[in-house]
Amino acid sequence: MSQLQKKFEKNGYVIVPGNKILLNKIRKIIFNNIKKNNKIKTKDDAEKNITTILNNFHKFITLKKLNNLRFDIYKKINAGSIFSEIYYEIAREYLDELVGNELAMQKKINLSIQLPKDKDSLLDLHSDIYAGESPFQVVVWIPLVDVYNTKSMFITSPKFNKKMNSDLLNGDKYTAKKMYAKNIKKFKFLNMKFGEILIFSPLILHGNTINSTRESRFSLNCRFKSLLSPYDVLVKSHRNIPNFYKPLNIKPMTKIGLNYIKKNLNVK
């Protein structure tokens, strides 16, 4: 096993350097959309200026308008395939090691914007499995600004996960909020610089709280799983191809095998 694989199995996540040129490219796409949408007048597209405007974005927008803006950018980045191709490229070498190179990629990349003190963009403690997600997938989480403390997301470790998860699922003794409050020491907010990417198993409990820093957070997330790993395995949630994922890098033998099954077993 490689160091990366060992680390991932031990911690449930890895923070690794991403390709800075490509990261700057996707950040610029988001920034240009924000500029247009919010009528921010700046001609300075230098990295430093983009960082300052994103970190201070709460000074440029009201909470009321935030969701429309977020949704508008979400639609734009997911309209063609360019954004998604760059996104995959940023994480490709790590996904090769952790998941495989014949993949299913989530069709839509999500954008989160968390302004300071905003109570409406919270994701309480959860495992993605609760929403019918696949246990075979990883999330690639990309912050577009430096993140730390409550500007970031928190995660626990595999060694604490099993017990908390089963307490949450069996019985109604704990709400997610209570579980987090009771076990706060078992969670840590991830400290990351723009330029780094997080790859984590969303089975490991994670979430966020009110951003009580003085900076806004922009982050992207997208899920990947091995193309031939099972779909809809725990519940029927339409987390399959073509509803939720798209295939990447289908190899000839996979095509041949799938075609054979289709022909001979009358599988649709």
Stretch that binds Fe ion, among 53-61, 128-136, 163-171, 246-254 (CB under 5 A): 128-136
> Phi and psi at residue 214, in whole multiples of 5°?
-105, 15
| Number of residues located near Fe ion, criterion CB under 5 A | 1
128 binds Fe ion (CB under 5 A): yes
Stretch that binds Fe ion, among 67-75, 93-101, 120-128, 147-155 (CB under 5 A): 120-128
Find the shortest distance in angstroms from Cβ 90 to Fe ion.
20
Cis-peptide, bond into residue 202, ω within 30° of zero = no
Find the shortest distance in angstroms from Cβ 120 to Fe ion.
17
Contact (CB, 8 A) for 4 and 94: yes
Residue nearest to Fe ion (CB): 128
Find the shortest distance in angstroms from Cβ 160 to Fe ion.
17
Which amino acid is residue 28, in one-letter code? K
Find the shortest distance in angstroms from Cβ 126 to Fe ion.
6
Stretch that binds Fe ion, among 16-24, 47-55, 127-135, 191-199 (CB under 5 A): 127-135
What's the Rg (C-alpha) of the chain? 19
Find the shortest distance in angstroms from Cβ 207 to Fe ion.
7
Q: Which is nearer to Fe ion, 128 or 215 (CB)?
A: 128
Q: Hey, what are 62's tokens?
A: 């009201």
**Of 87, 170, 88, 179, nearest in space to 126 by CA:** 179
Angle of CA points 135, 141, 147, to nearest 5°: 135
Q: Which is nearer to Fe ion, 50 or 199 (CB)?
A: 199
Q: At what angle do helices 82-98 and 20-38 cross, to 10 degrees?
A: 140
Q: Hey, what are 217's tokens?
A: 């957070």
Which amino acid is residue 55, in one-letter code? N
Find the shortest distance in angstroms from Cβ 27 to Fe ion.
22
- Contacts with 59 (C-beta within 8 Å, 6 or more apart), sequence order: none
Dump the DSSP string for 114-147.
Answer: E-TT-STT---SB-GGGGT--TT-EEEEEESS-B
Stretch that binds Fe ion, among 107-115, 124-132, 169-177, 237-245 (CB under 5 A): 124-132
Q: Which is nearer to Fe ion, 18 or 202 (CB)?
A: 202
Q: Which is nearer to Fe ion, 169 or 261 (CB)?
A: 169
Contact (CB, 8 A) for 147 and 54: no
String of contacts with Fe ion for each residue 201-240, x by CB under 5 A: ----------------------------------------
Q: Which is nearer to Fe ion, 128 or 196 (CB)?
A: 128
Residue with tokens 């990295």: 47
User: What is d(CA 108, CA 214) in angstroms, rounded to the nearest whole number?
Assistant: 29
String of contacts with Fe ion for each residue 67-106, x by CB under 5 A: ----------------------------------------
Which spans of this chain sit near Fe ion (rule: CB under 5 A)? 128
